[in-house]
Chain A
Amino acid sequence: MPKIVMAPTVVVTLVCIYGYMIWTAILSFTNSRMLPTYKFVGIDQYERLFNNDRWIVALTNLGVFGGLFILICLFLGVMLAIFLDQKIRAEGAIRTIYLYPMAISFIVTGTAWKWLLNPTNGFEKLMIDLGFENFKFDWLINPDMVVYCLVIAAVWQASGFVMALFLAGLRGVDGDLIKAAHLDGASTFTTYRRIILPSLKPVFFSALVILSHIAIKSFDLVAALTNGGPGYSSDLPANFMYAHTFTRSQIGLGSASAMVMLGCVLAILVPYLYSELRGKRHE
């Protein structure tokens, strides 16, 4: 009976996760354009991909966006968690406020920030009306700066989540250890730096993996906030893949870009899972 009950999930998983992955991999070695064809052209699509300026921009953006997004989220998340851990009155209410953006879709987040960041009505106007007449804030329409707009919105959305993870971790640290440190005369700062934070390494790695996963698959935020523009200056790989597969009839190229994205995720995931499993075995 157990096997029969599991069978649908097994079949669906094998087909829809692994089968499709292989299918996309195969397509990435063909010259498919509007319709899938099975004429193999070797690694041509990958060569085209890496000679494609728009892809290089998307990949560079992913590096900048992902790097900053992860770093700032981790920094803010850890700081806020430590601050909230100091027996704060109304901690529950403050925590709730930090975390609520995580309940909202990236489409809504993008819509909201598009309004806040637009130069004619948003922050820029607010600052000018407040008396800063030369204030200029046009990142949203500046091809060199637009990727930082993505960072701002994404950090707003996800940093509270990192805070929640670390706060849960802090609450799980062995209280005796901390008491012992205090008895030895360690200051609160030293205790955090030398004892508490090092013991949160697993939380840190989980957060890192999840944040990089969010960054790599970011698609909706770009769609709503910048639509890839100006030009294609704020494209991310996910948007490149979608555009080429579904609107530009370049299925082969789109599939190749999807495989590169998969490679990025695996590069992060495999070492993480490996260390997790090894760690478990030692216990």
Chain B
Amino acid sequence: MSNASTGRQTTWIEKALRFALYAVLLIMAAVYLMPFLVMLLTSLKDVEEIRTGTLLSLPGSLDLSAWSKAWGSACTGNNCAGISPYFLNSFQIVLPAVAISTLLGAINGYVISMWKFRGSDFFFAALLVGCFIPFQVILLPMARTLGWLGIANTTTGLVFVHVVYGVAFTTLFFRNFYQAIPGELVKAARLDGAGFFTIFYRIILPLSVPIIVVTVIWQFTQIWNDFLFGVAFSGFDTQPVTVALNNLVNTSFGGKEYNVDMAAAIIAALPTLAVYVLAGKYFVRGLTAGAVKG
């Protein structure tokens, strides 16, 4: 459809339509950007300016005190150390959970697409259900299990939960990717005497870089943004940043400091926003891969 309209003279109607098209697209872009802009502006104002100004008024001076307070001294519940400890908690949860679930997904996908055994397809279908169930349906039994295992309210517990419920997605990603790799490759290697792990390390993993990137980004975003597991399974000191942010915003004593709330919200969003800005292409691929079931 690249040159459907060339060759015809552009009339003024076409020009007007074109203009309207751009206008709509730009207005919508402004609408999508506005909340973030307001958050940023608010985080840079002092409380007095917030009271007297409006959402879109510019801050009088560049005041970063709300940011330092959000990071280091704001109170979430009874704890007044800002959200930095929870920000670090999130990393402590996310990094191992992403690594383990990605690795398991790669191996599972490799088995399901290249070393089929009786029932492997059936198992894959059964695993996929795990992508869809509302987690409310496993919440209470999981809480009991974490208690038995002695990892309730710990970072380890949250890593475990995220791995368990992330593996369905990572397996799906890798399986769909490996489906497209010709089976002859593996067959030839087997004839040459290469074993299960040799083929995986030497042939499959080097081919998997793109899907590893997509999976890591998907898992990172999902786990970083999680709130349900965080609020249900974390202890006082092991809350992820989403839970801490929610507590901070809902802490009712003292005057409401919207500038601190907004700074904290931006801090909590920064890692995933950074991933999105730096690797948007892979982020979108993850979204669509998660959307289109094989």
Contact = CB atoms under 8 A, between A and B. Distances in A.
Given A112-B36, A116-B38, A246 B232 contact: yes
A199 interface: no
A112 B224 contact: no
B188 interface: no
A88 to B, nearest CB: 7
Contacts of A27: 140
Interface stretch (B60-68, B151-159, B203-211, B282-290): B282-290
A242 B42 CA distance: 32
B141 A23 contact: yes
Interface of A is mostly: helix
Contacts of B181: none
Contacts, number: 249
A104 B55 contact: no
Interface in A91-134: 94, 96-109, 111-116, 121-123, 125-126, 129-130
A259 B42 contact: no
B245 interface: yes
Contact of A24 (B21, B24, B138, B266): B138
Given A16-B164, A182-B1, A1 B196 contact: yes
Interface of B is mostly: helix
A115 B39 contact: yes
Contacts of B38: 112, 115-116
A130 B57 CA distance: 11
Interface residues of B, number: 91
A48 B264 CA distance: 41
Nearest to A84: B25
B227 A106 contact: yes
Interface stretch (A51-59, A67-75, A135-143, A159-167): A159-167
A73 to B, nearest CB: 13
A10 interface: yes
A12 interface: yes
A175 interface: yes
B137 A21 contact: yes
Give the size range of A's interface with the partner. 35 or more
Nearest to A6: B111
Interface string B260-292: 011011101100110111001001100110011
Contacts of A259: 137
Interface in B20-56: 21-22, 24-26, 28-29, 31-33, 35-36, 38-39, 42, 50-51, 54-56
Given A112-B36, A220-B228, A17 B249 contact: no
Interface of B: 1-2, 4, 21-22, 24-26, 28-29, 31-33, 35-36, 38-39, 42, 50-51, 54-56, 104, 107-108, 111-112, 115, 117, 120, 123, 126-127, 129-130, 132-142, 144-145, 164-165, 167-168, 171, 195-197, 221, 224-228, 231-232, 242, 245-246, 249-250, 258, 261-262, 264-266, 268-269, 272-273, 275-277, 280, 283-284, 287-288, 291-293
